[in-house]
Amino acid sequence: MTGTAAVSDFYCHQALTGAVPIEKVAETDRVLAFHHTNPSYPVHIVVIPKEHVPSLTDLGNADESLLHEVVAVVREVAAGVEKEYGSCSVTTNLGLYQESKHQHWHVVYRGESEAEIRDMYGNHD
């Protein structure tokens, strides 16, 4: 992204305005979790602050209490995915990896079998 390019913020411009339909998973006064509108995995949930926060490392005008609330919702959603599917991955992107310049966390179950996970990551012993 160059310095002259428009800032992409799907979450402020589309998801939070109702311009695209979303399926909510969890919500507080300041945080929203919903199923990704174009999922890359069998379970793909996005957690966002409802106000504009640029990223994990740039909180903009938000205070850290909002970050704590976002992480609390991420933990709640991730615990539910882990309980239901046995595993879960949580990520957030920064810099050029961050396509939408609004802090967002992906909570996913990628769909591998337990054997595939153990082959990739070992037996954790």
Higher pLDDT pick, 6 / 21: 21
Is the residue at 2 inside a domain? Answer: no
Dump pLDDT digits (tens) for 60-102.
999 999 999 999 999 999 999 999 999 999 999 999 998 889 9
Number of domains in the chain: 1
Close Cβ partners of 118 (under 8 Å, ≥ 6 residues apart): none
Is the residue at 4 inside a domain? Answer: no
Is the residue at 69 inside a domain? Answer: yes
Dump pLDDT digits (tens) for 38-51.
999 999 999 999 99
Close Cβ partners of 37 (under 8 Å, ≥ 6 residues apart): 14, 15, 20, 21, 22
Give pTM, 2 decimals. 0.86
Can you tell me which residue has the tokens 């909180």? Answer: 59
φ/ψ of residue 2, rounded to 5: -90, 165
Q: Provide the CATH number for the domain around residue 35.
A: 3.30.428.10
Is the residue at 88 inside a domain? Answer: yes
Structural domain range at position 109: 10-121
CA distance 26 to 72: 11
Is the residue at 15 inside a domain? Answer: yes
Is the residue at 5 inside a domain? Answer: no
